[in-house]
């Protein structure tokens, strides 16, 4: 997991990490709220969730400074990384 988001590439790397962790991440969801579907146990410790929440805040800031919609940006990465782009249109293709 990266430790800081300074640019759009860092924000993309962060989302790739979340996909690799098996998380269907949404920019507005607190990482303390994620649970394993099968067990109902938290997906992250308090410390892990705090790091991811801080990184998501930084991703919001970086996207805003770069006039990039964080929701479309992260959704496109998720769709491509999971292969769902074969079934769901990419945000960039809808414009």
Q: Looking at residues 85-95, what average pLDDT do you find?
A: 83
% of the chain exceeding 90 in pLDDT? 91
Is this prediction's pTM over 0.85? yes
Name the residue ranges covered by the structural domains of the chain.
8-94
Q: What average pLDDT does the structure give for the chain? A: 95
pLDDT in tens, 10-54: 999 999 999 999 999 999 999 999 999 899 999 999 999 999 999
Q: Looking at residues 65-91, what average pLDDT do you find?
A: 95
Partners of 37 in beta bridges: none
């Amino acid at each position: 997991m990266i430790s800081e988001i300074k640019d759009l590439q860092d924000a993309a790397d962060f989302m790739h990490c979340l996909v690799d962790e098996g998380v269907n991440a949404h920019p507005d969801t607190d990482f303390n709220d994620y649970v394993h579907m099968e067990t109902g146990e938290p997906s992250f410790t308090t410390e892990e969730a705090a790091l991811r929440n801080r990184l998501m805040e930084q991703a919001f800031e970086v996207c805003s400074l770069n006039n990039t919609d964080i929701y479309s940006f992260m959704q496109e990465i998720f769709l491509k990384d999971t292969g769902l782009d074969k079934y769901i249109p990419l945000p960039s293709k809808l414009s």
